[in-house]
Amino acid sequence: MYREFKEFVKSRHSESLPDHRRIDLKKAAVRSSNRSGNVALTLTVKNSDYEYATRKLIHLVHEIYLVFLQEGHYDYMIEVFNLDPDHL
């Protein structure tokens, strides 16, 4: 699952995404890391554009939940977040 997650995060820099969904590498860079099963996101801000970088990081976390987890790892999301699948 981490390999897929890493690719998902990397794909957010893709030129094929519309501007509102893409993270511009000239303004910010995001990468993931995995240490003993603990996954983290690291955001590097470029040219002091903190507002842009913060907005894109929030959007990325939102997409991880709505796209990555719900579309490809639904069972994981139910188990880890202790959700009732009958009320989603």
pLDDT digits (tens, 9 = 90+) for 52-86: 999 999 999 999 988 998 888 888 888 888 888 88
Q: Is the pLDDT of residue 24 over 90?
A: yes
- What pTM does this model have? 0.84
What is the pLDDT, as a whole number, of residue 45?
A: 97
Place of tokens 């554009």: 49
Domain range for 44: 2-87
Closest CA to 6 of 33, 43, 36, 44: 33
Average pLDDT of 14-24? 94
CA dihedral (24, 67, 88, 85) positive or negative: negative
CA-based angle 57:23:26, to the nearest 5? 115
The count of domains in the chain is: 1
